[in-house]
Chain A
């Protein structure tokens, strides 16, 4: 920073408006030049990648929440539909079908839950690194 600029700056922001002596100006020049030097330290190397991964994880969580909410609404609507339009006998028949294929249904549910849990674990691991 040159002397004229320093003088202009000091006069603009100087409270007392006193005349600045030659020796004061020299010290200010030394100070201003040092103050304007960029810092050598900074964030870690993978800083921007880390932020992107965190945002992606956040977006994934939001998406999952939407999907679960949608699934819950559909399930609730289905149950309401069944209770209104199905008679007791039809319900019994439906339940017997479920019992017949219970292992397949349980296997499917366990698979869905384990996929969801492992996905959550991987995202958490990735965000931590």
Chain B
């Protein structure tokens, strides 16, 4: 079984094999966040490497006030945000709540089930504003609590709940429009 405390102590003594265990343990978490925040697969791979190198360099500063997964997610989020601000034209800081958001995906001709339905949902999520899809991923896919998401993103409690509520409502309404009731 994966013993986090023991593994961290081994890494701090310079054991790189122990760090490889951390990478294997948390690479799905890092990937899920980056995959929802970024679009290019090559960029995701590069930024993922940058995240884990940062984790290695800063592990001595990890104060164990939060779970290691929360700390790694926080680093991932910050690295991704910096990358997006530097390399992308999309606005990060502002979401106009008054604007009438519309999904560009058309209603599928037949009712999708199983894998195809999941692919369709993922496509809809990728159309949502960046903050919505980040919060919805951290909450549902990575199983973080509202407090943990607050720690990761620094968004206020109410804002996170608002993003989560609106993101789920938009997806639900689109599904209803597509005939899923």
Q: Is chain B found bound to chain A in the same assembly?
A: yes
> Which A positions have Cβ atoms within 8 angstroms of B?
13-15, 23-24, 26-28, 30-32, 34-39, 41-44, 47-52, 54-56, 58
A28 to B175, CA, bound (A): 9
A-B contact pairs, 24 of them (CB 8 A): A13-B146, A15-B162, A23-B181, A26-B181, A27-B172, A27-B175, A27-B176, A28-B168, A31-B121, A34-B118, A35-B121, A36-B140, A36-B141, A38-B32, A39-B122, A41-B35, A42-B31, A43-B27, A43-B48, A44-B45, A48-B20, A52-B16, A52-B19, A55-B16
Given A34-B117, A44-B45, A55 contacting B53 (CB threshold 8 A)? yes
Which 3 pairs between the two chains have the least Cβ-Cβ distance? Answer: A35-B140, A48-B23, A34-B121
CB nearest to B16 among chain A residues: A52
Known: A15-B161, A35-B141, A39-B31. A55 touches B176 (CB 8 A): no
Q: Which of B36-50 contact A (CB under 8 A)?
A: 44-45, 48-49
Whether B141 and A38, one on each chain, are in contact in the complex, defined by CB atoms closer than 8 angstroms, is: yes
Complexed CA–CA distance, A48 and B88 (Å): 27
Our count of residue pairs bridging A and B at CB distance below 8 angstroms stands at 87
B180 & A43 in contact (Cβ 8 Å cutoff): no
Which of chain B's residues 140-181 have a Cβ closer than 8 Å to chain A? 140-141, 146, 161-162, 164-165, 168, 171-172, 175-176, 180-181
Q: Is the interface of A mostly helix, strand, loop or mixed?
A: helix
Asked if B53 and A58 sit within 8 Å, CB to CB, the answer is: yes
Cα(A39)–Cα(B119), bound, Å: 10
Instruction: Give A51 to B51 CA distance when docked, in angstroms.
Output: 10
Task: Tell whether B52 is near chain A: CB-to-CB under 8 Å.
Answer: yes
Expressed in whole angstroms, the minimum distance between the Cβ of A38 and any Cβ of chain B is: 7
Tell me if B136 is interfacial: C-beta within 8 Å of chain A. yes
| A15: B residues at CB distance < 8 A | 161-162, 165
Any A CB within 8 A of the CB of B28: yes
Contacts of A43 in B (CB 8 A): 27, 30-31, 44-45, 48
Using CB atoms, name the residue of chain A closest to B14: A59
A129 vs B167: C-alpha distance in the bound complex, in angstroms?
40
Q: Is the beta-carbon distance between A52 and B20 smaller than 8 angstroms?
A: yes
B46 to chain A, nearest CB (A): 10
Contacts of A52 in B (CB 8 A): 16, 19-20, 23
Which A residues lie within 8 Å of B56 (CB)? 51, 55
A-contacting residues, B41-87, CB 8 Å: 44-45, 48-49, 52-53, 56
A13-B164, A27-B172, A30-B180 as given contacts; A50 in contact with B49, CB under 8 Å: yes
Q: Note all chain B residues with C-beta closer than 8 A to A24.
A: 172
Known contacts: A43-B48, A58-B53. The answer to whether A13 contacts B165 by CB under 8 A is: yes
Question: Cβ of A27 and Cβ of B45 under 8 Å apart?
Answer: no
Contact A38 B45 (CB under 8 A): no
What are the residues of chain A within 8 A of B30 when measuring CB–CB?
A: 43
